Structure 1
């Protein structure tokens, strides 16, 4: 499999297959939403769009970065989300980087959204669909976020087949600026406990595939038939 690693601003064409990576925290949070029973995650283009969707569908739950705010039900924190019961619910998510990255490649033939918690299943789906060329979109830090790049490289290695030791990739992510800011409480709407939850490789046995549904970009969980071994 041929892989390239680009930031959102570096995307100059429509990739055939895109894996959008946001470890801390958008696609760890989305995975937890599915694990707590959510049926789908709608990726909103703006906070205003998220609120407009909520106005039309009051039963949908809205989620954003930062502190709690009027009109939003959830914040972008796996630790604060994991106790929430979401069975059958639709979650509308808008974040600073993760959702932006997915919408930037919405015309790709296959869009996966990923983090460490779904890394093995994501790699398994890439193998299952015999993807030859994959663009990994590193969403954080203008395409330089170490946690996202480490996760992207880990998934790429695992998609190539054979066992891969997650340790070196997790240590890079753990030493990242994002991890430090979460531990220090710099980012509102998060908790230091988020770091450990973002660094659990293969916690969930599903990948997350984004596609157009009724003019919306919608994320759904998909379980690969045979995810590759971790180590």
Structure 2
């Protein structure tokens, strides 16, 4: 498998297969939304677009980075989202980096959105699809975010079948600037458990696939293919 690791600005053309990585926090939040019952997640280009989508679909819930704001129902925090009841709901998500990265590769044949919480499921799906070339989009800090780099390289190692040890990659992510800012309260709209939740390896047994539906980019969970050794994926938590 040929792998590339690029920041959003470095995407000169749509890759055939893209894994968009945002550990802290967009693509930790998205799997949590599915675990809390969300049917789908729609990615918005801007905050105004998110509010317009909600206005057109009043039953949808809008989610953003930062503190709560008028018109938005949720913030981009796994710690705050984990107690939400999203059964059957559609969530409109707009964040600073993750959603931007996913929309930048909308024309790819396969787009996966990932963090550590869905790392193994993402790697298994790449292996099952026999992907020859994969572009990992490192969304944070213009492609230099340590937590996103670490997660991308960990998934790449797992996707090639290597016996990659997660400990060093999780250590790198835990020492990142994003982790420090969350722990110190620099970033608004956060919960004290956010860093730990973002570093919870393989919390969920599904990958997150993005597809183009009715002029919108939509995320849905995709069950992880069986492990090569026949081991089962972790069970989805009930709460």
SS for the counterpart of 1:135 is strand
1:9 lines up with 2:9 in the alignment: yes
SS for the counterpart of 1:118 is helix
Give the match for residue 42 of structure 2. Answer: 42
Give the match for residue 236 of structure 2. Answer: none
Alpha carbons of 1:196 and 1:228: their partners in 2 closer, same or farther (altered >3 Å)?
A: farther
Give the match for residue 23 of structure 1. Answer: 23
Distance 2:228 2:194 in 1: 26
Q: In the TM superposition, what are the counterparts of 1:83-162 in structure 2 within 5 Å?
A: 83-162=83-162
Structure 1 length-normalised TM:
0.98
Structure 2 length-normalised TM:
0.94
Distance 2:112 2:214 in 1: 19
| Per-residue deviation, 1:119 | 0.2
Q: Deviations over 1:53-72 (max 9, x none)?
A: 10011110000000000000
In the comparison of the two structures, how many residue pairs are matched?
230
Q: Is the 8 A contact 1:63 1:93 kept in 2?
A: yes
| Per-residue deviation, 1:226 | 1.6
Give the match for residue 221 of structure 1. Answer: 221
Distance 1:228 1:217 in 2: 31
| Per-residue deviation, 1:228 | 6.0
Distance 2:110 2:225 in 1: 17
Q: Deviations over 1:66-106 (max 9, x none)?
A: 00000000000000000001111000000000000000000
Which ranges in structure 1 are unaligned for 5 or more consecutive residues?
Answer: none
SS for the counterpart of 1:50 is helix
Which ranges in structure 2 are unaligned for 5 or more consecutive residues?
Answer: 232-239
Give the match for residue 82 of structure 1. Answer: 82
Distance 2:182 2:191 in 1: 6
Q: Is the 8 A contact 1:118 1:206 kept in 2?
A: yes
**Cα RMSD between the aligned structures?**
1.1
Distance 1:193 1:9 in 2: 31
Q: Deviations over 1:180-206 (max 9, x none)?
A: 000000000012310000001100000
Q: Is the 8 A contact 1:15 1:105 kept in 2?
A: yes
Runs of 4+ in 1 over 6 A off after TM superposition: none
Distance 1:213 1:206 in 2: 20
